[in-house]
Amino acid sequence: MVDDHIKRKILLLGDGAVGKTSLIRRFVVDKFSDEYITTIGTKVTKKDLRIESPGKAIDLTFMIWDVLGQKGYKGIQESSFQGAKGALLMYDVTRLETAESLQNYWIPHLLVVTNPIPLVVVGNKVDLADSRRQAQEELDDLKEALGVTGFLSSAKTGQNVEAGFLALAKAIIAQSDAKMSRREAVEEATHEFIAVTDQIIMDFCDGMGGQEAAMPIVRQQLTRAGVDVKAPTREGLRLAVDYLAETESSFRNAADVEASKRKRLGWIKEVA
C-alpha cells in the first residue's frame, strides 16, 4: 500500500496588517477563537488538501504558521521558521513598503534559518487597488526580482486565496519526496511544541502586564517543570501550565486562573 499522505509546515510571512490572519481565515474553515484576532506569538492552523495531478492524487496536510508580523521580533520569528517546507510571502498592494519588506527583511531572515524553500508571493487587498493593472505590474516586477510565482489576492472577496496555497503545495510536492523521514516527523512535532510554548509564555506575560515582570516567573516554573525550551514535550508543558496557574492564583481570581489554564491545556492538546 502506498502512503501518499504528507504533512508539511508552511509559513505565512509579511508585515503587520497585510492580511495574513484574514487569508488563513478565508482558506481554512476554522472555529472562531479570540486569540485569532491579533496574532500574538504564533498561531498554527491545519488544512487538509488534495492535490490532483495526472494519474495521481496526493493528500497533503498543511500546518500553516501565522508568524508574528511585527518587525524586530527576530527571536520568535526565527524559531518559528525552523522546519518550514515553504512560505507564502505576503504584502499589501496599497502599501508598497510592505513589498520592499519582503526583500529587505522577511526573505533574508528566512534564509538565515532555512535552506532555500519554495516561495510564493501574494499581493493582498487587490480589492482596494486603484489600478489593478498597475498592481499586476508591480507584482510581476517582484516575481521577477525574487524568481518566484505569485498572485494578487483579496482575503476580503476571496479572490485567489486558494491559488497561492495551491501553487505552494504543488511546488513543495514537486520538490520533495512524498515520504517524510521519521527524523523529519519528529523534528516537526518538536517545532509545534515550541510554538505552543511560545503561545503559553505570551499569554502568561499578557496576564501579568508584560514580559519584564513575568519572565522571571516563567523561567522559574518552566525549569521546575523540566521543560527544555529547545525541545519541549507535552508532559513538561502540561506540568508547566499547572505551575503557572499556581503562581497566578496569588494575583488573579480563581475563575480566570482556571479559564487560562484550560485554554493553555487546549493549545497543548491541539498539537497532533
Closer to Mg ion at the Cβ: 67 or 142?
A: 67
x-or-dash string of contact with ligand G3D, 35-74, rule CB under 6 A: ----x-----------------------------x-----
Compute how many residues bind ligand G3D; rule: CB under 6 A.
Answer: 17
Smallest gap from Cβ 65 to ligand G3D, in A, equals 12
Contacting residue, 6, 9, 11, 19, with ligand G3D by CB under 6 A: 19
Q: Which of 51, 56, 54, 138 is nearest to 92 (CA)?
A: 138
Name the residue number minimizing CB distance to ligand G3D.
19
* Collapsed DSSP state (helix, strand, coil) of residue 8: strand
**Contact status: 132 vs ligand G3D (CB under 6 A):** no
By the rule CB under 6 A, 20 interacts with ligand G3D: yes
**Closer Cβ to ligand G3D, 66 or 248, answer by number:** 66
Name the residue type at position 107: I
Examine residue 129 and tell whether it contacts ligand G3D (CB under 6 A): no
DSSP type of residue 102: I
Q: What is the DSSP letter of 58?
A: E
CB 177, min distance to Mg ion, A: 32
Indicate if the alpha-carbon torsion angle 178, 80, 265, 235 is positive or negative: positive
Binding site for Mg ion (CB under 5 A): 20-21, 39
138 and 93 Cβ atoms separated by less than 8 Å: yes
Residues in Cβ contact with 87 at an 8 Å cutoff, skipping those fewer than 6 apart: 10, 11, 12, 13, 110, 117, 118, 119, 120, 168
Amino acid at the residue 247:
T
Find how far residue 124's CA is from the centre of its chain: 17
Binders in 135-164 for ligand G3D, by CB under 6 A: 154-156
Q: Which is nearer to ligand G3D, 62 or 106 (CB)?
A: 106
Cβ 70 to ligand G3D shortest distance, Å: 9
Phi, psi of 61 (to 5 degrees): -105, 120
Q: What is the Cα–Cα distance from 230 to 190, expressed in whole angstroms?
A: 8
Which one of 11, 21, 221, 227 is in contact with ligand G3D (CB under 6 A)?
A: 21
Near ligand G3D by CB under 6 A: residue from 77, 80, 124, 221: 124
Nearer of residues 24 and 201 to ligand G3D, judged by Cβ:
24
Cα 171 to its chain centre, rounded Å, is 19
Binding site for ligand G3D (CB under 6 A): 14, 16-22, 39, 69, 124-125, 127-128, 154-156
